[in-house]
């Protein structure tokens, strides 16, 4: 990547959900070692395994870095990257804030797809909408620098 942009830090709802899941995993470890019943220990081990798998999966799929090349916008997590060719980008704009219900989202980030929008959001106040063949919502740490830089690249094409 020619230029990299850091991902915005997690907002309060995302931090709280992440903290709750991590604390539940720690509590499960405590219960495994304090339980005298093999049945209870087995249940807590299964719960801990599920929690660790969830944490591992969500951490790997949370946005890691956003980047710009001469010909594309890159959205990278720790496993994959999505490349959006600049030739497909119709518009890029700063969003004031995304409103989501309290139950929406996840740990480390809100990632996924809803309707025709793919989102990779860590902080609702840093949202940027990219309109290409499909729509993407991302959250760079400095959206006011990211958007003009992409618009400058779009102006060159």
pLDDT at residue 109 in the model: 77
Which of 96-100, 147-151, 152-156 shows the lowest per-residue confidence on average (mean pLDDT)?
A: 96-100
Average of per-residue pLDDT across 33-50: 89
HSE-up of residue 66 (Cα within 13 Å, Cβ side): 27
Q: How many residues does this entry show for the chain?
A: 157
Which pLDDT does position 156 carry in this prediction? 67
- pTM summary value: 0.80
Q: How confident is the model at residue 49 (pLDDT cuts 50, 70, 90)?
A: very high
Q: Calculate helix-pair angle for 12-34, 38-61, nearest 10 degrees.
A: 150
Q: In CATH, what is the architecture of 1-157?
A: Roll (2.30)
Domain boundaries of the chain, sorted by first residue: 1-157
pLDDT tens profile 2-18: 899 999 998 888 888 88
């Amino acid at each position: 990547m020619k230029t990299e942009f850091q991902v915005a830090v997690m907002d309060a709802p995302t931090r709280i959900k992440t903290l709750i899941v991590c604390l539940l995993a720690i509590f499960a470890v405590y219960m495994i070692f304090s339980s005298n019943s093999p049945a209870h220990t087995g249940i807590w081990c299964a719960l801990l395994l599920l929690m660790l798998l969830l944490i591992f999966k969500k951490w790997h799929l949370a946005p890691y870095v956003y980047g710009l090349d001469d010909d594309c916008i890159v959205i990278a997590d720790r496993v994959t990257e999505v490349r959006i060719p600049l030739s497909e980008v119709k518009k890029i704009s700063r969003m004031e804030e995304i409103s989501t219900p309290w139950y929406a989202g996840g740990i480390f980030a809100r990632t996924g797809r809803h309707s025709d929008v793919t989102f990779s959001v860590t902080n609702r106040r840093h949202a940027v909408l990219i309109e290409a063949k499909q729509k993407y919502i991302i959250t760079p740490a400095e959206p006011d620098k990211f958007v003009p830089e992409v618009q400058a690249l779009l102006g060159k094409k």
